[in-house]
Structure 1
Amino acid sequence: MKTVALILLGLITNAQSMVKEKPVNTGEELQFKLSYGWFTIGRGTFKISDDYVLRDGKECIEINVSGRTAGLAGVLSKVDDQWGAVVDKDNFLPYYSYRDLSEGDYDLEEHVYFDYDSMRVKVESSSANEEEPRPTRFYDLEKTNVFDMMGGLMYARSIDYRKLKNGDTVQLDAFFDKKFYDFEMIYHGIEMIKTKVGEIYCHKVVPIMQKNSVFKGEDAVTFWVSADANRLPLKVEADMNFGTAYCELTAYKNVKSGIDFN
């Protein structure tokens, strides 16, 4: 599911301001479907902890995400991935994140710790397929507003899009897979789209993807977030070298505003 990770990373954005009333609710749970063409190839769950947890005396939310292959894709190559993070509930900066990946013959367990006193990131990783343990690695934080994937996604939901005009560009700083990234995204205004959870007005954004072997061009990914109090990530469309992939919200519960959709 590294392709999914790249898509999500492209959504992380470090905007000038966030809405005062954050679209975050403890216990929120989102269900997603990943498809390629007409075929469903995976399903995922995004879950926020029922209660706040404390880190450095600050209230934080714990996020856990699971992704599994489905349908024919599950027969050809089984994927069972777990992702997560502990991030500040107000600014979504990370204190800890993890990846536990099982993808066919590949596996990885990784734990990342963000230390703002020493301004360093510590990465511990291991693989059941390797006889020797991997060394612990440290990376210097040159900025305090560097997001991990999960906190960055929450930040993207909290941008005050009302202050953006069509064509405005927004910057981001992120750390993922032992690398620092500097991304941009372009805001494309509001449009109504038909989704699995109804016809909804959305903010449309296009992350500028760095050159890689997965996506077709720098504007290959489009992201829609609901233009309401929940700022739900409704749909991602990605033009890839092997075709177009979609990630769509199919159900949600315990959102901040409104009733459950199952």
Structure 2
Amino acid sequence: MKTFTLILLGLFTSAQTMVDSRPVSNGEELQFKLSYGWFTIGRGTFKISDENVIKDGKECIEINVAGRTAGLVGVFSKVDDKWGAVVDKNTFMPYYSYRDLSEGDQDLKEKSYFDYDSMRVRVESSSISKPTTRPIKYFDIEKDNVLDMMGGLMYARSVDFKSLEKGDTIRLDAFFDEKFYDFEMIYHGIEKVKTKVGKIYCFKIVPIMQKNNVFKGDNAVTFWISADANRLPLKVKANMNFGTAYCELTSYKNVKSGIDSQ
């Protein structure tokens, strides 16, 4: 399942650059399939709340993502993971995020609270499989515009890619898994891509991956965002040590522009 999480993180990208539009609408729902070769090994759902949430007097959206194993893979290693956040509707900065992970005999429940008055993140975590009391942890926010995974995905869909040229570097400051990250990715222009929802012109992005024992090669992960009003995360390709895996959008509804695709 760590494969599913890592590929989903391939969608988690953002930039300290100009914003072109706000393509996200309330009630949006996206369905994804994770595959390896001919086999479907997982499925995911991305949902945005029907109504806005008010935090510190600001309008926010609530985002919930679920991922689970599918097919024969689920027989050997059952995974049922959930992620979510409440983020500012305009800046996508997080106020609250959570992870509820169940992977085989391992589990984790984690809640992160972002306090912009004290500039700290409070993280509370627990585990059923390891019920010992875990201390509350605090992390100082030292940079402006630090995003979480959900806010990063929202920002990525709003970047003004048309102002970029091929080879430009996009940067992001983020907090995830009790760590702050400096992400960089390279913009590779527009190309027409065959996806599960049709042949669509897309913005192509390649993150700069730190060396690890999971991904293979310098350009291990590539993802595509639709070059239209909806900026849908359409496809992620990951070259991994055991082969190539894909995360692909299979259906969507309640998008900002156009009709549903089921």
Q: TM-score, length-normalised on structure 1?
A: 0.97
| Aligned match of 1:15 | 16
Q: Distance in 2 between matches of 1:203 and 1:12?
A: 13
Q: Which amino acid aligns with 2:147?
A: F
Superposition map of 1:49-198 within 5 A: 49-198=49-198
Partner in structure 1 of residue 247 of structure 2: 247
C-alpha distance in structure 2 between counterparts of 1:5 and 1:12, whole Å: 14
Q: CA deviation at 1:217?
A: 2.9
Which digits, 9 at most, give the CA deviation of each residue in 1:51-97, with x for residues without a partner? Answer: 00011110000000011110011111110011100000111111100
Write the mapping of 1:223-262 to structure 2, written as runs, cut at 5 A: 223-262=223-262
> How far is 1:239 from its partner?
0.3
Partner Cα separation in structure 2 for residue 192 and residue 223 of structure 1: 13
Aligned residue identity for 2:182: D
Moved more, 190-199 or 129-138: 129-138
Gaps of 5+ in 1: none
Q: Does 1:200 align with 2:200?
A: yes
Paired with 2:234 and 2:208, the residues of 1 have a C-alpha distance of 19
RMSD between superposed Cα atoms in Å:
1.0
Shift of 1:212: 1.6
Contact 2:4–2:42, Cα closer than 8 Å, also in 1: no
Partner of 1:31: 31
* Shift in CA distance, 218/115, structure 1 to aligned 2, threshold 3 Å: farther
Which whole-Å CA distance do the structure 2 matches of 1:101 and 1:173 have between them?
A: 24
State the match for 1:210 in structure 2: 210
| Distance in 2, Cα, partners of 1:91 & 1:8 | 21
In the aligned structure 2, how far is the partner of 1:121 from the partner of 1:209?
A: 25
Question: Which deviations, in whole Å up to 9, do the C-alpha atoms of 1:120-160 show, x marking residues without a partner?
Answer: 01100000012311110000000121110011001011100
Corresponding residue for 2:40?
A: 40
CA distance in 1, matches of 2:41, 2:131: 32
Match of 2:6, SS state, is helix
* Whole-angstrom distance in 1 between the partners of 2:218 and 2:135: 34
Deviation at 1:8, TM superposition (A): 3.7
Kept after mapping to 1: 8 A contact 2:191/2:201: yes
Does the residue aligned with 1:259 lie in a helix, a strand or coil?
Answer: coil
Number of residue-to-residue matches in the alignment: 261
What TM-score does the superposition give when structure 2 sets the normalisation length? 0.97
| 1:136-195 alpha-carbon deviations (Å, 9 max, x no partner) | 000000012111001100101110000000110011111110111111000000000111
C-alpha separation in 2, matches of 1:215 and 1:125 = 28
Distance, in Å, in 1 between the alignment partners of 2:179 and 2:132 is 23
Deviations 1:173-223, CA, capped at 9 Å, x for gaps:
111101111110000000001111011000000011112221113420000
Following the alignment from structure 1 to structure 2, what is the Cα–Cα distance between the partners of residues 7 and 184? 16
In 2, Cα distance between equivalents of 1:131 and 1:99: 17
* Shift in Å, 1:2: 3.0
Pairwise CA distance, 1:45: 0.3
